[in-house]
Structure 1
Amino acid sequence: MRAETRLYNALGDSLSREHGLATSQVEFLRYFRDHPGSRVADVAFNFAAGIGAISKGVDRLEARGLVVRHPNPADGRSSLVSLTRAGSEVVADAETTFQKRLSDLVSSTLTPDQVATVGAALATLRAALERDRIGVPVG
């Protein structure tokens, strides 16, 4: 956990300095890029976070003109969120910063084989946790 926290903080510092975004905001933008027209509830489920917290995060992105909410034709109580053109540009730039900084941090310590092994192990663990709905907040 400490290693993840240190990586997260270092990445966050770079993203904030270069793009004015928190790591979580970049993650939301990446999600909306990869899943256009998602509901806030979909994002909350994916990130194992509360709907209220995700909605506030989306509000901040919307205020910056990076995402837009559209009425959900299947459910009037929710809206669908999509990236704006500015959001698409920012997430592409931030993704480059994220990948470069992560590579700099990891490659100075781990070999490519170690990175592949750790990545595969974490992907397997994440899939099992998601499949079994472990760590999903209530409400």
Structure 2
Amino acid sequence: MSAELRRVFDDLVRFETDLWNGVDARLKAAGAVPLGSLNVLQVVARTEACRVNEVADALSITIGGASQAVDRLVARELLARRPNPGDRRSSIVELTTAGTEALAAAETVFDAELARWFGEALTGSALRSFARTLSTLRAFAGGHRD
């Protein structure tokens, strides 16, 4: 069993690396924001009154890493910070008009690339099963973080 689990680990980690690098390269070739920036923009877009800690939680990164990512996007004028009316110690992060446009352009490339990586390899039912399995594993791992 341990040899099989090691193989699964290797396959999963190597696939994630290949997937990330492939999608990121395609985004850059299209002149879109890189994948790390796209991830942040997507979290901000779907999170009402988004704070840096929501970005960190959604992307499974540190608050410091999330704050640096947000700062880079603020410097590029794709995000803006405004005071949080409910907590003076934090700020709300929002998409700017340029950020909304960059997100839309990148998501078109992103979706096409995901379809190429997954849609050509997995049928609808296999893809749904794979998604459920990954979701189950992430939920289980979330309960075992120290």
| TM-score for the superposition, normalised by structure 2 | 0.83
Q: Distance in 1 between matches of 2:144 and 2:62?
A: 14
- Which residue is 1:84 aligned to? 96
CA distance in 2, matches of 1:39, 1:111: 37
Aligned amino acid, residue 106 of structure 2: A
Does the Cα contact within 8 Å between 1:62 and 1:68 map onto a contact in 2? Answer: yes
Equivalent residue number for residue 16 of structure 1: 28
Residue identity (%): 36
Shift of residue 41, structure 1, vs aligned partner: 1.4
Matched with 2:145 is 134
State the partner residue of 1:116. Answer: 128
Task: Point out which structure has higher relative CO (alpha carbons under 8 A, 6+ apart).
Answer: 1
Instruction: Indicate the structure (1 or 2) with the bigger Cα radius of gyration.
Output: 2
In structure 2, relative to structure 1, the CA distance for the partners of 1:52 and 1:42 (3 Å cut) is: same
SS of the counterpart of 2:48? Answer: coil
Distance 1:101 1:28 in 2: 18
Match for residue 137 of structure 2 among 114, 125, 128: 125
1:1-139 paired onto structure 2 within 5 Å: 1-130=13-142, 132=143, 134=145
Alpha-carbon distance in structure 1 between the residues aligned to 2:58 and 2:79: 18
User: 1:58 and 1:119, CA in 2 relative to 1: closer, same or farther beyond 3 A?
Assistant: same
* TM-score of the pair, normalised by structure 1: 0.87
Q: What amino acid is the match of 1:106?
A: F
Gap runs ≥5 in structure 1: none
| CA root-mean-square deviation | 1.7
Could you say if the C-alpha distance between residues 123 and 29 of structure 1 is closer, same or farther in structure 2, counting changes exceeding 3 Å?
Answer: same
Measured in 1, the distance between the counterparts of 2:83 and 2:110 equals 32
Runs of 4+ in 1 over 4 A off after TM superposition: none
User: Which amino acid is the alignment partner of residue 65 of structure 2?
Assistant: A
Query: Does structure 1 conserve the Cα–Cα contact (< 8 Å) formed by 2:33 and 2:102?
Result: no
Letter in 1 for 2:79: V
| Structure-2 separation of matches of 1:79 and 1:91 | 21
Unaligned runs of 5+ in 2: 1-12
What is the aligned length?
A: 134
